[in-house]
C-alpha cells in the first residue's frame, strides 16, 4: 500500500476464510493465494471482495448498461431514426470531399476506433486528440475528451463541419440531401417539413425547398466558425439571411440527431466482469471462479484496493463520467498547451447546441440542469474525461494523446507515476505503486476481462455489420458511400 492518499474503505469487513491470508496485508494475500493454488486464490479474493464496501463497488461494475433515452433528442430510442442514422454514420457524401464518413475514423471492426495514436484523414493529421470509441458513448454524461458537448447530437455536429474532419458546411446540407433521395425521403418521413424549412419553401412546394440549391443564398462551404471568423466559409455564412441560416442549422441538427439515435444503441455486450459481479451479488464463489481467471481476479482486487483505480473508474462503464489528470508527459503530435476540461466547460456553456439551447428538445430537462452547475474554474485545467474501460483491450492505443501503446504500458504508467504533465497537475489520488511484474500482469488480465461478446451486443457486431468497413448495413448505400478502389481504410490503420 504505497499510496499516501486516503484509503476510501477503512472498515472493510474481512470474512474469516480470508483472514489467514490477509493478516499480513493485501500483498501477503496475493502471495499466500498463489502458494496455495488457484482455487485458494479465487476463494480468498472472493472472500475479501464480499466485504460490504468492496462488494458494492464490484457489483456496480455489472450494473445495467441498456441504452438510455436522451430527452434532448426527439429521435432517441426510435428504431427507424436509428436505421437512417446508421446509414448517415457510414455515408461519405456527408463530407466536403465526398471521401470521409464518421465510420472512417470510428471503424466498425476496430470497435469504432481508428487504431491510431492520433486521427488521420487521407494520411494527413486530422486532430491533436486520440479517437475514442463510440461504443457506450450514449451512456456518458459529456462527449469529447474535454466534454465540450453534453449530448451525442451536439457532438455529431462537430466533425461534419470541422475543416480537419468531414469539412462540410451546413449550407451544403440541403444540396447533399436533395441529390440523395435515399437520405432525403426517409428524412422527410421522420421529420415532416420542419418549420425552419417550411419558412423558406415556395408556395405549393412539397418536400425539401429547392431554395437550398441556390448557391447565392446558400454559399458552398458556408458555416459559422467562431474560432476563425475571417475564414471564407465564416464570411460567406455572415452574408446569409437569418431565415436561411436557421434552415441550414435545422438540417445540421436533424442529421446529427439521427446519427445520435444510431449511436445511442451502440452498447457493448456482457463481459466476464458482469458474470463476476453477478456471482458476488449472489454469494456464489463457484460462479465467480468460472467468470474470472485467478490472475484477473487478483487484478480486480488490486484495481479496487491499493491501486485505487476504482476511485475514478467506477460503475458499469468503469468511469465516474467526469474529468481528471493522470500525469501524462508531452506526446508527439499532441498539444502540450491543451487545456482540456477547462476550455471544454467554457465552450459547452457557449455552445448553441447544448442541452439547454434553442435546438434541444428538452431545454428544461435533466441534462440542461447540469449546465447550471457547470464548473468553469481553473481547477479543471488539463483534465480529460475518465474514459470508459469497457472493451478497453480492443481499443489500443490509449489516453487522449494515444501515446500509450498497450494495456501494459498504461499499467506501467500508473505504477511509475514519474512523469511531469506539460500543463496543470495530476490528481492527488495518484502516486507510485510498488507492484511487481506479476501484479502488473494481473491488472492487465483484469482489464481484459472487461471485453464482452460483441455478437451478443444489442446493436452492433452482428455478422451483417462486420462485413466490409464504412458501408451501411441497410440498402441505403450509394456509389460514393462505398470505399473507393483499394481499401481507403488502410490509410487509417497504423
Q: Binding string to ligand HEC for residues 118 to 157, with x set by CB under 6 A, is what?
A: -x-x----xx-x-xx-x--x--x--xxx------x--xx-
Is 400 a binder of ligand HEC (CB under 6 A)? yes
- Vertex 127: Cα angle to 122 and 132 (nearest 5): 95
Give the strand pairing for 120-121 and 124-125. antiparallel
Q: Are the C-beta atoms of residues 342 and 380 closer than 8 Å to each other?
A: yes
With CB under 6 A, what is the number of residues at the site for ligand HEC? 55
Q: Does 326 bind ligand HEC (CB under 6 A)?
A: yes
User: Which 408-447 residues touch ligand HEC, going by CB under 6 A?
Assistant: 410-411, 414, 427, 429-430, 443, 447
Cα distance between residue 146 and residue 430, in whole Å: 20
Minimum distance of ligand HEC from residue 198's CB (angstroms): 26
105 in contact with ligand HEC (CB under 6 A): yes
Q: Should residue 307 be labelled a site residue for ligand HEC when binding is judged by CB under 6 A?
A: yes
Cβ nearer to ligand HEC, comparing 106 with 217: 106
CA 11 remoteness from chain centre: 35
* Closest alpha carbon to 255 in 111, 73, 476, 127: 73
Q: Does 449 bind ligand HEC (CB under 6 A)?
A: no
The least CB distance from residue 139 to ligand HEC, in Å, is 10
DSSP-based three-state secondary structure for 289:
helix
Which CB, 43 or 76, lies closer to ligand HEC?
Answer: 76
Q: Considering the rule CB under 6 A, would residue 301 count as an interface residue with ligand HEC?
A: no
Q: Is 276 in the site for ligand HEC (CB under 6 A)?
A: no
**Span interacting with ligand HEC, options 31-39, 183-191, 204-212, 388-396, rule CB under 6 A:** 388-396
Strands (E), 212-339: 323-324
Query: Considering the complex, what minimum distance in angstroms separates the CB of residue 356 from ligand HEC?
Result: 19
109 in helix, strand or coil?
Answer: helix
Q: Compute how many other C-beta atoms are within 10 angstroms of the C-beta atom of residue 310.
A: 21
Tell me which of 32, 247, 279, 328 binds ligand HEC, using CB under 6 A: 328
Among the listed residues 308, 454, 470, 477, the single contact to ligand HEC using CB under 6 A: 308
Least distance in Å: CB of 469 to ligand HEC? 13
CA separation for the pair 362, 370 (Å, rounded): 13
Q: Does 65 bind ligand HEC (CB under 6 A)?
A: no
Separation between Cα atoms, residue 274 and residue 134, nearest integer Å: 20
User: Mutual orientation of helices 79-89 and 181-191 as an angle, nearest 10°?
Assistant: 150
Cross-strand partners of 324: 384
- Show the site string, 186-225: x = touches ligand HEC by CB under 6 A, - = not: ----------------------------------------
Smallest Cα–Cα separation from 17: which of 67, 51, 60? 51
Nearest by Cα to 256 from 482, 89, 65? 89
159 binds ligand HEC, rule: CB under 6 A? yes
In angstroms, give the least distance from the CB of 91 to ligand HEC: 9
Distance from C-alpha of 155 to C-alpha of 265, rounded to nearest angstrom: 16
- For ligand HEC, which stretch binds (CB under 6 A), given 46-54, 103-111, 197-205, 237-245? 103-111
User: How much helix, strand and coil, in percent to the nearest 5, is found in the chain?
Assistant: 45, 5, 50
Contact (Cβ atoms closer than 8 angstroms) between residue 154 and residue 351: yes
Q: Which of 116, 252, 261, 311 binds ligand HEC (CB under 6 A)?
A: 311
Contact call for residue 259 and ligand HEC (CB under 6 A): yes
Burial 239-266 (b: 16+ CB within 10 A, else e): ebeeebbbbbbbbbbbbbbbbbbbbbbb
Please state, as a whole number, how many other Cβ atoms lie within 10 Å of the Cβ of residue 5: 12
Binding site for ligand HEC (CB under 6 A): 89, 100, 102, 104-106, 119, 121, 126-127, 129, 131-132, 134, 137, 140, 143-145, 152, 155-156, 159-160, 165-166, 259, 263, 307-309, 311-313, 324, 326, 328, 384, 386-387, 389, 392, 395, 398-400, 407, 410-411, 414, 427, 429-430, 443, 447
Amino acid at each position: 500500500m504505497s499510496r499516501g492518499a486516503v484509503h476510501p474503505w477503512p472498515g472493510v469487513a474481512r470474512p474469516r476464510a480470508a483472514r489467514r491470508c490477509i493478516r499480513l496485508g493485501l500483498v501477503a494475500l496475493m502471495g499466500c493465494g498463489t502458494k496455495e493454488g488457484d482455487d485458494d486464490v479465487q476463494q480468498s479474493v472472493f472472500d475479501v471482495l464480499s466485504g460490504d464496501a468492496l462488494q458494492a463497488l464490484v457489483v456496480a461494475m455489472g450494473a445495467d448498461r441498456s441504452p438510455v433515452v436522451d430527452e434532448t433528442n426527439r429521435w432517441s430510442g426510435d428504431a427507424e431514426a436509428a436505421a437512417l442514422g446508421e446509414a448517415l454514420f457510414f455515408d461519405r457524401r456527408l463530407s466536403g470531399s465526398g471521401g470521409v464518413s464518421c465510420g472512417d475514423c470510428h471503424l466498425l471492426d476496430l470497435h469504432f476506433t481508428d487504431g491510431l495514436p492520433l486521427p488521420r484523414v487521407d494520411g494527413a493529421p486530422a486532430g491533436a486528440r486520440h479517437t475514442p470509441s463510440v461504443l457506450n458513448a450514449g451512456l456518458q454524461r459529456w462527449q469529447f475528451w474535454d466534454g465540450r458537448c453534453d449530448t451525442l447530437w451536439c457532438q455529431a455536429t462537430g466533425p461534419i463541419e470541422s475543416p480537419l474532419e468531414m469539412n462540410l458546411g451546413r449550407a451544403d446540407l440541403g444540396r447533399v440531401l436533395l441529390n440523395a433521395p435515399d437520405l432525403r425521403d426517409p428524412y422527410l418521413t421522420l421529420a415532416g417539413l420542419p418549420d425552419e424549412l417550411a419558412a423558406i419553401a415556395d408556395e405549393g412546394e412539397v418536400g425539401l425547398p429547392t431554395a437550398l440549391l441556390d448557391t447565392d443564398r446558400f454559399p458552398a462551404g458556408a458555416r459559422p466558425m467562431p474560432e476563425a471568423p475571417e475564414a471564407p466559409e465564416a464570411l460567406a455564412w455572415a452574408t446569409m439571411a437569418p431565415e436561411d441560416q436557421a434552415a441550414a442549422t435545422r438540417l445540421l441538427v436533424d442529421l446529427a440527431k439521427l446519427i445520435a439515435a444510431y449511436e445511442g444503441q451502440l452498447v457493448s455486450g456482457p463481459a466476464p466482469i458482469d458474470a463476476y459481479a453477478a456471482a458476488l451479488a449472489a454469494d456464489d464463489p463457484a460462479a465467480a471462479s468460472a467468470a474470472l481467471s485467478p490472475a484477473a481476479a487478483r487484478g480486480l482486487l488490486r484495481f479496487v484496493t491499493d491501486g485505487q483505480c476504482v476511485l475514478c473508474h467506477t460503475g458499469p462503464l468503469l468511469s465516474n463520467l467526469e474529468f481528471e489528470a493522470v500525469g501524462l508527459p508531452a506526446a508527439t503530435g499532441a498539444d502540450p498547451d491543451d487545456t482540456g476540461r477547462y476550455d471544454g466547460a467554457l465552450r459547452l456553456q457557449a455552445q448553441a447546441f447544448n442541452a439547454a439551447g434553442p435546438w434541444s428538445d428538452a431545454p428544461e430537462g435533466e441534462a440542461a440542469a447540469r449546465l447550471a452547475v457547470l464548473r468553469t474554474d481553473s481547477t479543471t485545467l488539463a483534465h480529460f474525461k475518465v474514459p470508459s474501460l469497457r472493451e478497453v483491450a480492443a481499443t489500443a492505443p490509449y489516453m487522449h494523446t494515444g501515446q500509450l501503446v498497450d494495456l501494459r504500458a498504461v499499467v506501467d504508467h500508473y505504477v511509475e507515476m514519474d512523469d511531469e504533465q506539460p500543463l496543470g497537475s495530476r490528481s492527488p489520488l495518484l502516486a507510485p505503486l510498488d507492484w511487481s511484474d506479476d501484479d502488473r500482469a494481473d491488472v492487465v488480465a483484469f482489464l481484459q476481462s472487461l471485453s464482452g461478446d460483441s455478437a451478443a451486443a444489442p446493436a452492433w457486431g452482428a455478422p451483417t455489420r462486420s462485413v466490409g468497413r464504412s458501408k451501411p448495413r441497410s440498402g441505403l448505400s450509394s456509389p460514393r458511400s462505398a470505399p473507393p478502389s483499394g481499401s481507403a481504410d488502410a490509410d487509417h490503420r497504423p
